[in-house]
């Protein structure tokens, strides 16, 4: 069974972020430009901090690709932190010649306190550097590679913003993705988009931050990814874990989610339509309240995943807190931060969904070369129509 897996390394203000990917078949067309598109999208969105203007992220492919094609060996990526020169003394690898001032001002809502206690630290810097959402740049790079693989099978992954603070878009069906990408907050509704921008401005002026909700759509997925036979092979569980692993995400729902819990069964499930024996999608549903998943497996409908993102915990007007060293009351630490990251987090969510789907595709269709994977995929598609009696 083929397995797509990855590791990321690096700190927010260290030399670089890196990622290692294993399990890609040989022969997949891949360049640094493919990855650059999603890294650029992650840095966008109204409400981001000035750091996004400093970094201008680009991933260097260090190994695993030759002449624009993957080799089938591990792929390694590096994203240099352009802000590193300003942090060399604080984040140098070698022992410091002089004592560096310790950071002890705890931030409510951040990993500071729990991380310091868990890892026995008297300085919060080692915790916040790795806990920082800067790490997601490496994940988005990995997700872009997974997206490139999925494109070979006609699978597309998109996201859009449903809510920022109390401003909510009235989503009906699949959005116009071109309008989403044009919006400063990645919302297809132009009027709502403007309201969201105003809400971010108000929060920023008050030294506050805003969270919200983003939604991910994945289309072109075949029936049968995932499995019902073990808890850890259920695709809905794997997707929920992947999305919940994103910094500041506090809730995930698939399809109708919590709204379905308030409906009777007759209104909660998706009617199966008569099969089209000759179509490319012989099994279809009248609705998609299940969000493309039933019994831990894809059912051929679009995969829809929604996530709730809490407001960023680093505030321009800090909350009361305590000092790690003395336990005394102080103002929480403030370090250059975003006001709202919901639009950008949608792009990170796309990356995590693409990673899970790439893994599921390779587990089902395998192949040491992309052509072998495609042959296995095409052979499977010939079997998914109505079952005839022999």
What confidence tens digit (pLDDT) does each residue in 69-114 have? 999 999 999 999 998 888 988 999 989 888 888 999 999 989 999 9
Domains of the chain: 5-381 (3.60.150.10)
Q: Which tens digits make up the pLDDT trace of 33-80?
A: 999 999 999 998 887 765 555 667 999 999 999 999 999 999 999 999
Among 189, 185, 158, smallest CA distance to 171 is for 189
Residue with tokens 């000092």, as numbered in its chain: 323
- Residues 154 and 378: their CA atoms lie apart, in Å, by 12
State both tokens at 275.
Answer: 């099969």
pLDDT > 60? residue 241 = yes
pLDDT > 50? residue 127 = yes
Instruction: Give 156: exposed, middle or buried? Use CB within 10 Å, 0-12, 13-18, 19+.
Output: middle
Q: Is there a contact between 207 and 364 (Cβ–Cβ < 8 Å)?
A: no
pLDDT at 51: 56
- Residues 61 and 63: their CA atoms lie apart, in Å, by 6
pLDDT band at 359 (very low <50, low <70, confident <90, very high): very high
pLDDT at 49: 64
pLDDT at 319: 86
pTM, entire model: 0.94
- Looking at mean pLDDT, say which of 212-226, 311-325, 372-386 comes out highest: 212-226
pLDDT at 282: 82
- Residues 354 and 366: their CA atoms lie apart, in Å, by 17
**Angle formed at CA 241 by CA 236 and CA 246, multiple of 5 degrees:** 130
Element containing residue 160 per DSSP (H, E): strand 156-164
pLDDT at 232: 92
Q: Alpha helix locations (H) across 227-341?
A: 235-244, 265-268
Q: How far is CA 225 from CA 127, 174, 245, in A?
A: 37, 22, 21
Q: Is there a contact between 338 and 49 (Cβ–Cβ < 8 Å)?
A: yes
- Residues 358 and 367: their CA atoms lie apart, in Å, by 13
State both tokens at 3.
Answer: 């397995």
More confident residue, 316 or 66: 66
């Amino acid at each position: 069974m083929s397995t797509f897996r990855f590791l990321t390394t690096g700190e927010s203000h260290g030399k670089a972020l890196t990622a290692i990917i294993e399990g890609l078949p040989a022969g997949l067309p891949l360049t640094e430009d493919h990855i650059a598109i999603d890294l650029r999208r992650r840095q966008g969105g109204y409400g981001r901090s000035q750091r996004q203007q400093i970094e201008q992220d680009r991933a260097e492919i260090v190994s695993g690709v030759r002449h624009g094609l993957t080799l089938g060996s591990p792929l390694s990526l590096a994203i240099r932190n352009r802000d590193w020169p300003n942090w060399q003394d604080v984040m140098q690898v070698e022992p410091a010649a002089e004592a560096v001032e310790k950071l002890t001002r705890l931030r409510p809502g951040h990993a500071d306190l729990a991380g310091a206690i868990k890892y026995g630290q008297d300085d919060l810097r080692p915790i916040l550097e790795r806990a920082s959402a800067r790490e997601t740049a490496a994940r988005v790079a990995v997700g872009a590679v997974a997206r490139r693989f999925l494109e070979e099978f006609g699978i597309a992954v998109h996201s859009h913003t449903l809510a920022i603070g109390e401003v909510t878009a009235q989503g009906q069906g699949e959005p116009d993705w071109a309008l989403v990408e044009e919006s400063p907050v990645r919302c297809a509704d132009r009027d709502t988009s403007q309201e969201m921008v105003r809400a971010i401005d108000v929060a920023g002026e008050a030294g506050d931050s805003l969270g919200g909700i983003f939604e991910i759509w994945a289309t072109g997925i075949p029936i049968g990814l995932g499995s019902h036979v073990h808890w850890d092979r259920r695709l809905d569980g794997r997707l929920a874990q992947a999305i919940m692993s994103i910094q500041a995400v506090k809730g995930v729902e698939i399809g109708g989610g919590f709204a379905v819990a308030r409906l009777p069964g007759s209104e909660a499930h998706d009617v199966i339509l008569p099969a089209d024996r000759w179509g490319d999608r012989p099994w279809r549903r009248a609705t998609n309240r299940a969000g493309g998943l039933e019994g831990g497996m894809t059912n051929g409908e679009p995969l829809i995943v929604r996530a709730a993102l809490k407001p960023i915990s680093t505030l321009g007007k800090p909350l009361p807190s305590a000092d790690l060293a003395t336990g005394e009351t102080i103002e929480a630490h403030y370090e250059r931060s975003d006001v709202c990251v919901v639009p950008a987090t949608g792009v990170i969510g796309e990356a995590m969904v693409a990673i899970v789907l790439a893994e599921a595709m390779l587990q089902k269709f395998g192949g040491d070369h992309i052509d072998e994977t495609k042959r296995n995929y095409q052979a499977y598609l010939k079997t998914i129509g109505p079952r005839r009696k022999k």
